[in-house]
Amino acid sequence: MKPDVVISEVGPRDGLQSLSVSMATANKKQWIAALAAAGLREIEVGSFVRRDLLPQLADTAEVVVFAKSLPELEVAALVPNLRGARAAIEAGVDKLTVPVSASEAHSLANVRKSRAEMVEEVRAIVALRDELAPDMEVEVGISTAFGCTLQGNVSSAEVLRLAEQLVRAGAQSCGLSDTAGYANPRQVSDLFRSLRSAIGPRAGAAHMHNTRGLGLANCLAALEAGVRTFDGSLGGLGGCPYAPGASGNVVTEDLVYMFEAMGLRTGVDIDKLLEARQVLSASLPDTPLYGMLPEAGLPLGFEERSHV
């Protein structure tokens, strides 16, 4: 059956890019295969950026080819510019994810372009997609939508104006990212409701960080505001090198458990998801992993209750 909520796993990109060590390509493939076997149907497997900037993701093209061989998996990759988009299209991804910051300071630090320049970059990426791969989805993640460690406050009006510009540039969906971990549930609810009013069904995923312990609460607030796609990172890996102090993403294991415990279908098998966590741990033995569910385990009778 179609899931009630979609969990998009971003660990192989967002998680690994935050680490000082690189995971071997063979281990990445094993991890992604384990994630897909657990029922995750959308995985952001890497990023097409210069090798000298993110050597951890230099093998993304090879990883994409492998991920495309897995059945029923939508393979996404982050592309910060037109050059990256061309490489991703050539590799055969299903979805291009473009980061556009609502904070001017973060945009200049992260991609060396202003917000206005990034809107034009999205327009160029969409034109390239139309020419080379018209069925490929172009998704924008509006980063620092709830605040920025470099700029401070980011007004909701700025975020909504940017989202409207990106939709006019051709983005098929615009999600909101709490890059710095500044968001609170009321803010998340209000901004996602406003986003849906501004751009309608093109309002996209919630990408929440757990920097201050509000990741799951913010996802619940987004759910109540109508969001049905949520980014998560296995073991809570992640962060942003251009947002000082930002720490890991919402833990996929905890996110899936929360929704399943509420009676919402995710399509993810939690036992197999925990097996994928073991693959990750074995591949990065010195990297700390996070999450409450892996420590506590499933409550007695959970399986029966979650499928009522």
Question: Using CA atoms, how far apart are residues 96 and 170, in angstroms rounded to an integer?
Answer: 12
- Does residue 219 carry a catalytic annotation? no
Q: Which of 148, 174, 219, 240 is catalytic?
A: 240
The single residue listed with the structure tokens 């409207």 is: 164
Contact 231, 34 (CB under 8 A): no
Catalytic residue list: 240
